[in-house]
Structure 1
Amino acid sequence: MEPSEVRRAVEAAGATASALGLQVGDAVVVHNSDRIAVRLIPCDVLARVAPLSLHDGQGQAGMEFEAEVARRLAETDSPIGELEPRVEPGVYLRDAFAITLWTYYEPVVADRQGGTAHEQPGMSTDLAPADYAHALVRLHAGLRKIDLAAPHITARIAGWAEGVGDPEQTPELRDRDRELVSDTLSRVSAAISRWGSGEQLMHGEPHPANVLSTRRGPLFIDLGTCQRGPVEYDLAYVPDEVAEHYPGANQDLVHQFRLLMWAGVTTMRWNRNDQYPNRDYWRIETLNQLRAALDRYGLD
């Protein structure tokens, strides 16, 4: 969001929480892209705020879906960041924004000298690969227990293909890079369709930015990306050493999905409406990561 919109969004979040009886004296933005996450103090609530004008499942409908996923997963004891228990779960509307309220978890980082854990606001640490993988196994187990309509990964792949194939959506993407991304999406999609792997409800983007290290252990957030497909799709978003700890995963399929993932993320960063922080850097970085993945894994 632009600074003027961020200010309005923060005010809307604070006013919403106050109207629900939560004490709000200050607010700290902890993430800003097409929607923001803001920590409300001293009630220690994390508000997620999106403009109602957002499309592509990111606005009110997307936040309603995310809240419903969280509500159902909370009944399965899954490792997730939970909705704020002091208010009714759901989406609140104020000043052209959709707002959801969540529990705020203080990050836990390892003490490099003593080997103990302590809390430091605003900091995070890499999880041990085995712990990360075990948490994802538990999340997938919880997702198998809930019955929820969610898009199939093929719908997202089709959206990526449309975006990279339409210069009006990605006007600044060079022709040679457009061809590289489009060819990767097409060839990998054709290859993975022949694997015949089992499918289930998945997180959709369980990358390190979407898993918190807390005193309760690893907790996954940003549940609005849930989709249906093979668990190897989720594993494409985690580091290699984490995927290797996931029991029973087809690592060759993970590699193919990783190619697909980098092609898709590249498409999103080059979209003319993308508001990801430091977008210019990530436009180049995602292309570099795609080329590195192609050199490493090739196209099967």
Structure 2
Amino acid sequence: MEPAELRRAIAAGRTAAAELGLQVDDAIVVQNSDRLALRLIPCDVLARVAPSGHLTGSEFEVEVARRLTDVDAPVAELDPRVEPRVHVRDTFAVSLWTYYEPVGPPEIAPADYADVFLRHHAALRRIELDAPHCTDRVAMALKAVNDREQSPELPDHDRDFLSSTLSGLGAAIGIDGAGDQLLHGEPHPGNLLNTRKGPLFVDLGTACRGPIEFDLAHAPEEVGEHYAGADHGLIHRCRALNWAMFSAWRWRRDDQLPDRAHWRVEGLRRVGAALDRCGPN
């Protein structure tokens, strides 16, 4: 968020928590991108603050968290002291979560990462949730790539490269849906916290349906080797697809990821490297 919007978002997060009876003397920015994560103290709440245009996504994330908590999934929980819903303040959607103090090294060992994946996927199979298919997200990325108004600075040769990668891999992954299930959607290392309760997944608003390999492709490569029954060829294809989507978002005119210029170049490089790992079709 830009500085002016950031100040308003911080105020909205603090106000929402204080009006619900939580003591807020200060707010520490944990993450600032298109959404804001704040640690509110001394009540020790993690406030997730999003522009009002993200209201539906924030409500979806709260619903996913609520249902997964009911089946004891390894996920971050909403703060139990307030009603589990999104609170609108100013022009922002605010949700309040339990704050987990990180413990030990941030890196999760591959075997432990795979174990928490297995438990999370098992929990996801136990809940009913209307969620999009992962290929719907691919279609959105493809639209951003093919629409020059959305991605005006994307060079033509890179546009063609991303377009063919997204359309080809997206179609291939969507052909056989027999093994599809509800997924986390973006369970990369930044969304798996090492806490006193063990590893916990966060950022639950990306839940979607698809093959478990789509989730595994977000994790370090060694993780898939510890996940029984995973299709390693499909993991490689999903990893290339994920990097292609990541790259598509970086070229959007309104993207706000920090160090976007670096990631525009690096993202394209990683798409090519991931495609090389896929081998011949």
Shared topology, TM-score over 0.5?
A: yes
Whether the 8 Å CA contact 1:29–1:36 is kept in 2: the answer is yes
Structure-to-structure mapping, 1:54-93, within 5 angstroms:
54=53, 59-93=54-88
- Alpha-carbon offset, residue 294 of structure 1: 1.7
1:57-77 CA distance string (max 9 Å, x none): xx1100000000000000111
- Alpha-carbon offset, residue 272 of structure 1: 0.6
- Identify the structure with the greater helix proportion: 2
Unaligned runs of 5+ in 1: 111-124
**Equivalent AA in structure 2 for residue 129 of structure 1:** P
Between the two proteins, the alignment pairs up a number of residues equal to 281
Whether the 8 Å CA contact 2:135–2:174 is kept in 1: the answer is no
- Alpha-carbon offset, residue 197 of structure 1: 4.7
* Secondary structure class of the residue paired with 2:271: helix
1:108 matches 2:103: yes
The equivalent residue for 2:30 is 30
- Identical pairs, percent: 58
The equivalent residue for 1:186 is 167
Q: Distance in 1 between matches of 2:20 and 2:175?
A: 51
1:236 matches 2:231: no
1:240-298 CA distance string (max 9 Å, x none): 00122111111111111111111111001111111112211111111111111122223
The equivalent residue for 2:50 is 50
- Alpha-carbon offset, residue 195 of structure 1: 4.8
- Alpha-carbon offset, residue 143 of structure 1: 0.7
Q: Distance in 1 between matches of 2:275 and 2:233?
A: 13
* Secondary structure class of the residue paired with 1:108: coil
Whether the 8 Å CA contact 2:237–2:275 is kept in 1: the answer is no
Whether the 8 Å CA contact 1:188–1:299 is kept in 2: the answer is no
Q: Distance in 2 between matches of 1:4 and 1:194?
A: 46
Unaligned runs of 5+ in 2: none
Q: Distance in 1 between matches of 2:19 and 2:276?
A: 54
- Alpha-carbon offset, residue 189 of structure 1: 2.4
Detail structure 1 runs of 4+ shifted over 4 Å in the superposition.
194-197
Quote the RMSD (CA, aligned, Å).
1.2
Normalized against structure 1, the TM-score is what?
0.91
The equivalent residue for 2:134 is 153
Whether the 8 Å CA contact 2:177–2:211 is kept in 1: the answer is no
The equivalent residue for 2:116 is 135
Question: Against the structure 1 CA distance between its residues 262 and 197, is the aligned structure 2 distance closer, same or farther, given a 3 Å change threshold?
Answer: farther
Q: Which moved more, 1:269-278 or 1:193-202?
A: 193-202
* Secondary structure class of the residue paired with 2:179: coil
Within the candidate set 241, 246, 261, 2:242 is matched to: 261
1:18 matches 2:13: no
Structure-to-structure mapping, 1:205-220, within 5 angstroms:
205-220=186-201
1:125-177 CA distance string (max 9 Å, x none): 21001111111111111111110100111211111111111111111111111
The equivalent residue for 1:275 is 256
Normalized against structure 2, the TM-score is what?
0.97
Q: Distance in 2 between matches of 1:273 and 1:295?
A: 30
**Equivalent AA in structure 1 for residue 226 of structure 2:** H
